[in-house]
Chain A
Amino acid sequence: MIRANTSREHTNREYEQELRRLREQLLLMGAKVEEIIHGSIRALIDRDSTLAEQMIGVDRKINQLEIAIDELCMQVLARRQPVASDLRFLTTALKLVTDLERIGDLGVNICERVLELNGEPPLKPYIDLPNMTREVQEMLHEALDAFVAADVERAQRVIARDKNVDAYYTQIFRELLTYMMEDPRNIFRATRLQSIAKYLERIGDHATNLGELVIFMVKGKDIRHAGKLSDAG
């Protein structure tokens, strides 16, 4: 009788290699995405335009990885016809890259706003924005860790944190509104900062998606749009 954990490797070594490479590429892409978020916020706080421009270069690498991973997934699907956990891993990978690529784009958007802001004097010291960024970065990091470890509980914790990010956004938006009401000359900078907060909020949503995808990958259970599909048909 074969036991559950006797051998989790494929009999076919080449197939095993392909899946391993796919996993590595995904992690590399995840690392690049973390780098761009980190760098773009650093560029904001330090008013570092050079760094902001560098991060736009990182996004190009992220886009290349997206294409490479998609291609690898297509190859594996065509040649190996994966089933069960392998199939869920492959379809998860295909969706994961889309969320990661969007996060990269949002990082670029932050950098673009930073470049605009750096042409102006600072509006105010940043307090909530760095805290919000930290929350979002941790969510992203945890989601990637949950993916690596196939850890459902960790993925669930990521999903639970999204409401913190939403709360930060509401808070920051309200504060910026007071600045804008105080003096119309603040509007240009306040709307840039508001956009950055919105980008971070969107990154939180994408990290939540990653968590949901990990749960699907591990358990084969789709938890997206829970309870919101009842009128779908």
Chain B
Amino acid sequence: MSANGAAKVEPAPKLIVRDLAVFYDGKKAVGPVSLDIVGQHVTALIGPSGCGKSTFLRSLNRMNELIAGCRVEGTVRLDGDPIYGPGIDPVAVRRRIGMVFQRSNPFPKSIQENVAYGLRIGGVKDAHEIAGRVELALTQAALWEEVRDRLNDSALGLSGGQQQRLCIARALAVEPEVLLMDEPASALDPIATAHIEELINELSANYTVVIVTHNMQQAARVADYTAFFYLGELVEFDRTDVIFTKPSNSRTEDYITGRFG
């Protein structure tokens, strides 16, 4: 028991974000934010719509660059390696830092091909290796048992929850180190949501997970750490149990207790 608060050993940060600011057409949307994302744990980003949490999430694997007029300042280091800078290939960054989106977006291909897609792009040609990694990814995404007999069926025939787990499997197939999830369960029913949340918990044993969610109870359930964003600023970052029992900032308190606006 560490009832009287014996010093807890904090795991090393996987991602170190320093003075990160994101601009759209010269107008600042987020930042500057400095934050450490702890490895093999789940970090949730919460905040009202438009607070910049998704923008921040996307800047962790350089997805913002795909948006015209977007500019990013500051640094993000993955195990010490900068992910921004001349000569750094964003595609290589995204291989190490994968992403799962709000709405499941399987390709109109078979289940097998959806998961294998990233591998093929990455140059894996051996059919045996692909089959093995597809199975592993589907197993990790807790979908293998449900689809093993119909790997060649269209992914679009899966239920919403299965499609989302397929997208997680697709992200896992290329063996990333960090998984970014943008509202991964917001379009799912409570049972499918429970599956995803359980999965997130299991994944955090091997992966570093950063999740954006509008559902505060979800953050409370799945995250080890929670960051509260408001109007483009990081207001508070702490252990989830602290955030949801005694936040230190009154704006965090107002938001999570529903006293906003």
Q: Are B259 and A7 in contact (CB under 8 A)?
A: yes
Chain A interface residue bracket vs B: 20 to 34
Find the B residue at minimum CB distance from A80. Answer: B258
* A83 interface residue (CB < 8 Å to B): yes
Question: Which residues of A have CB within 8 Å of B251?
Answer: 2, 4
Q: A2-B251, A11-B260 are in contact. Are A81 and B245 (CB under 8 A)?
A: no
- How many Å from the CB of B228 to the closest CB on chain A? 11
Q: Are A84 and B256 in contact (CB under 8 A)?
A: yes
* B246 interface residue (CB < 8 Å to A): yes
Q: Are B254 and A83 in contact (CB under 8 A)?
A: no
Q: Are A84 and B231 in contact (CB under 8 A)?
A: no
Question: Which residues of B have CB within 8 Å of A15?
Answer: 258
Q: Are B245 and A9 in contact (CB under 8 A)?
A: no
Q: Are A2 and B3 in contact (CB under 8 A)?
A: no
- How many Å from the CB of B59 to the closest CB on chain A? 22
In the assembled complex, the Cα of A113 lies from the Cα of B198 at a distance in Å of 58
Q: Are A4 and B250 in contact (CB under 8 A)?
A: yes
Residues of chain B having any CB pair with chain A under 8 Å: 1, 3-4, 216-217, 220, 230-231, 243-247, 250-254, 256-261
**25 A-B residue pairs with CB within 8 Å:** A1-B231, A2-B251, A2-B254, A7-B259, A7-B260, A7-B261, A9-B259, A10-B257, A10-B259, A11-B260, A15-B258, A82-B257, A83-B220, A83-B244, A83-B245, A83-B256, A83-B257, A84-B252, A85-B257, A87-B244, A87-B245, A229-B3, A232-B1, A232-B3, A233-B3
Other than A15-B258, A83-B257, A87-B245, give 12 A-B pairs with Cβ distance below 8 A: A4-B251, A7-B259, A7-B261, A9-B259, A10-B257, A10-B259, A83-B244, A83-B245, A83-B256, A85-B253, A220-B245, A229-B4
Residues of chain A having any CB pair with chain B under 8 Å: 1-2, 4-12, 15, 81-88, 219-220, 229-230, 232-233
